[in-house]
């Protein structure tokens, strides 16, 4: 059985972090060892929450027990939301040790730091992620556009600056496989009903345009990264890394599209059933608005049948000229 060590946020109610990632991986045959970087009542999109964060001492004790004392073998490592630089540094030192013992361990780093020009971790995390990446222990990175800009210091406004940022991730930060989970409309297309997902291997860049669903969903990036890890291993028979990554991305985007459409449909149905006032058919989840957010929690359990998708994908692969 494939085994992955996952380090992400945890919420009691809702679906972000590990709640978005663990079940999909388990449903596809992964044995998931997971560490909660935070333990919150609910995600922050509700506007209020309670809970606590993992201490560096506790993380060190847990990793030392798993890696040095129990000597557990992992096929992959997946990391997402980590709230401060000390935790990132601690994790990085153990991953470096693991990769020294077994260079075949695949590390997928989702450097969760913010979105839409809003930083929701300590600013020191930016520099710590840079240090971690330079160590040549990361195989695949899945930031969004804002996170790429934070890491590279390059504001992405067009194709040229996008290429510059991707090249910097490859060359300066030693990332073999780059996936930018979302690029705003207007950069690669002029249709504001689409965003784009980018992938690059050795600066050969492909992308997919994805239709926007008019609502705010949380946990999407966490589910995306977990599914991508699974599909990367599923497609291990493909020897060309660009083809392997492209097929994996297309499969993931297909699953995500099905999951988000189901989430949106079920959210509107629930709002209608509860007799929500107003135009229910145009209801949108809004950040920091618990009254609307509750309807659009990812339907991770209900989407179980989608996670095993293994066809080529339903999106058109495009090349960046």
Determine the pLDDT at residue 138.
Answer: 98
Q: How far apart are CA 112 and CA 210, in angstroms?
A: 21
pLDDT digits 0-9 by tens, 179-207: 999 999 888 877 888 999 999 999 999 99
Q: How far apart are CA 215 and CA 230, in angstroms?
A: 27
Paired with 6 in beta bridges are 34, 78
Element (H, E) at 256: helix 241-273
Determine the pLDDT at residue 290.
Answer: 79
Determine the pLDDT at residue 168.
Answer: 98
Pair 5, 31: CB distance under 8 Å: no
Q: Encode the chain (321 residues) as per-residue pLDDT tens digits.
A: 899 999 999 999 999 999 999 999 999 999 999 999 999 999 888 888 999 999 999 999 999 999 999 999 999 999 999 999 999 999 999 999 999 999 999 999 999 999 888 898 999 999 999 999 999 999 999 999 999 999 999 999 999 999 999 999 999 999 999 999 999 988 887 788 899 999 999 999 999 999 988 778 889 999 999 999 999 999 999 999 999 999 999 999 999 999 999 999 999 888 888 877 667 777 877 777 778 888 899 999 999 999 999 999 999 999 987
CATH 3.40.50.300 fits 2-319, yes or no: no
Q: How far apart are CA 194 and CA 128, in angstroms?
A: 32
CA distances from 241 to 232, 244, 245, 249, 268 (A): 10, 5, 6, 12, 40
Q: Which residues contact 157 (CB under 8 A, 6 or more apart)?
A: 187
Pair 67, 98: CB distance under 8 Å: yes
Pair 180, 224: CB distance under 8 Å: no
Coil vs helix vs strand at 41? strand
Pair 82, 125: CB distance under 8 Å: yes
Determine the pLDDT at residue 277.
Answer: 65
Determine the pLDDT at residue 193.
Answer: 86
Determine the pLDDT at residue 278.
Answer: 67
Determine the pLDDT at residue 215.
Answer: 78
pTM score, whole prediction: 0.96
Q: How far apart are CA 177 and CA 55, in angstroms?
A: 31
Q: In the chain, at which residue ranges do the beta strands (DSSP E only) sit?
A: 2-13, 30-42, 51-53, 76-79, 106-109, 114-115, 118-119, 140-141, 177-183, 194-201, 204-211, 318-319
Q: How far apart are CA 313 and CA 227, in angstroms?
A: 13
CA distances from 106 to 146, 232, 251 (A): 25, 10, 19
């Amino acid at each position: 059985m494939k085994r992955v060590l996952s380090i992400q946020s945890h919420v009691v109610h809702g679906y972000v972090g590990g709640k978005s990632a663990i079940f999909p991986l388990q449903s596809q045959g992964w044995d998931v060892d997971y560490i909660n970087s935070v333990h919150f009542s609910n995600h922050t999109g509700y506007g209020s929450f309670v809970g606590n964060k993992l201490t560096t001492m506790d993380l060190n004790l847990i990793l030392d027990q798993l890696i040095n004392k129990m000597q557990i073998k992992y096929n992959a490592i997946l990391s997402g939301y980590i709230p401060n630089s000390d935790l990132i540094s601690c994790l990085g030192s153990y991953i470096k040790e693991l990769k020294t013992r077994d260079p075949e361990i695949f590390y997928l780093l989702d450097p969760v730091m913010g979105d839409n020009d809003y930083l929701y971790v300590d600013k020191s995390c930016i520099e710590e992620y840079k240090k971690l990446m330079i160590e040549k222990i990361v195989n695949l990175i899945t930031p969004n556009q804002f996170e790429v800009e934070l890491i590279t210091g390059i504001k992405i406004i067009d194709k040229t600056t996008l290429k510059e940022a991707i090249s910097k991730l490859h060359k300066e930060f030693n990332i073999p496989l780059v996936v930018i989970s979302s690029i705003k409309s207007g950069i690669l297309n002029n249709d504001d009903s689409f965003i784009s997902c980018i992938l690059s291997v050795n600066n050969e860049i492909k992308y997919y345009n994805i239709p926007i669903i008019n609502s705010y969903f949380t946990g999407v990036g966490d589910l995306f990264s977990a599914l991508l890890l699974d599909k990367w291993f599923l497609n291990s028979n493909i020897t060309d890394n660009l083809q392997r990554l492209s097929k994996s991305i297309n499969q993931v985007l297909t699953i995500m599209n099905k999951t988000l459409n189901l989430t949106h449909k079920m959210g509107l149905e629930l709002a209608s059933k509860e007799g929500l006032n107003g135009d229910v058919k145009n209801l949108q989840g809004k950040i920091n608005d618990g009254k609307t957010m509750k309807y659009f929690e990812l339907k991770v359990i209900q989407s179980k049948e989608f996670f095993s998708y293994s066809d080529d994908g339903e999106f058109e692969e495009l090349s960046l000229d």
